[in-house]
Amino acid sequence: MKKHIIGSIIVASSALAFVLVFAGRLVPAAEREPAKSPLAGERARDAQPKKAGRLNIICFGAHPDDCEIRAGGAAAMWAAKGHRVKFVSTTNGDIGHWKEAGGPLAQRRTKEVQEAAKILGIETEVLDNHDGELMPTLENRKTIVQLIRRWNADIVMAHRPNDYHPDHRYTGVLVQDAAFMVICPFFCPDVPHLTKNPVFLYFWDGFQKPNPFRPDVVVAIDQVIDKKLDALVALESQFVEGCVTGHEGLIPKNDQERAAAHQKVRSGFRGRFEATANQYRQRLIELYGKENGKNLRCAEAFEMCEYGRQPSAAELQQLFPFFER
């Protein structure tokens, strides 16, 4: 009797295993009926329809200011042409100040980047991870994959993984780790996988080891420099009050002091973006032509990641529709 019961259990278990394997692994994805799945409603909600000719760009920065500094100009130009751009901060920036911290600072910095997003004409999101504590975990990898998929991204940008700040480095690692997983149907299956791998790029940085930044794409931002500077000035906790190295004397006490502080921020960043244009002048000439390239004043630079789709020169022109000769 005992052997009969055990045998029946084995047979039933084997049959169940066969059904699960057949249903979940052997039937091609194209032959399944997602409408019958309990996840069908969620899949339909998450799917982002794409208009012909419209690009979807998503940028990941470690803190609520990183994307704005490194890609705010290109973002504003994409948005002006009708393309969809989203900035994501992988931490909430809750220790990024010399006086404030915790929830109040995180809320303040979220409001600041929301104001910057309005100025640039884009969307923004701040993830609720503590500043200085980001780690390349499986949970965080899944979050990045889901965000890229929901945005139906053509272009993904992030820090290089040899940056000085651990949050910057691990943001870069997480985005690299997502570069293949976004097209895997059974990784995070609750959000539809991408059928075409995005193009992944790195933000500019000045670090030389183990390898220096390579300026594959240099975008002139002269036409939107004032808009970008307006967005950066909106991040007062960082650029007016001095971030983690500030002090009481930096906080404006009246409108006159605030205007002077804003002008100082604008002047400093303008000089930084002019330096980028001068540093990569030859690449600007190659992309914009000799006459235009030598006269452009402000720029942002990006490096192609070897992960993800590798675009041809013609496709690069479509992804960055700014190189007027």
DSSP assignment of 91-155, as one string? S--TT-SSS--HHHHHHHHHHHHHHHHHHHT-EEEE----TT-----HHHHHHHHHHHHHTT-SE
**Helix/strand number for the chain, H first, E second:** 12, 7
**How high is the pLDDT of residue 49?**
54
Which residue in the block uniquely carries the two structure tokens 């002006």?
Answer: 80
Q: Is 63 exposed, middle or buried (0-12, 13-18, 19+ CB in 10 A)?
A: buried
Class of domain 53-319 (CATH, top level): alpha beta
- The per-residue pLDDT for 3 is 42
Q: How far is CA 48 from CA 42, 87, 180, 315, in A?
A: 12, 17, 20, 22
pLDDT at res. 88: 98
- In order of 206, 237, 310, the CA distances from 211 in angstroms are 10, 32, 20
* Tens digits of residue pLDDT in 250-279: 999 999 999 999 999 999 999 999 999 999
Which amino acid, residue 12?
A
pLDDT, tens digit, for every residue of 163-218? Answer: 999 999 999 999 999 999 999 999 999 999 999 999 999 999 999 999 999 999 99
Domains of the chain by residue range: 53-319
Q: How far apart are CA 93 and CA 114, in angstroms?
A: 14
Please report which helix (H) or strand (E) contains residue 273, including its range. helix 255-279
CA–CA separation, 142 vs 182, rounded Å?
9
List phi, psi (to 5°) of 161.
-80, 10
Q: Give per-10-residue mean pLDDT for the chain (325 aa).
A: 42 38 33 34 44 91 98 98 98 98 98 98 98 98 98 98 96 98 98 97 96 97 98 98 96 96 98 98 96 97 96 94 89
Nearest to 158 by CA among 146, 177, 171: 171
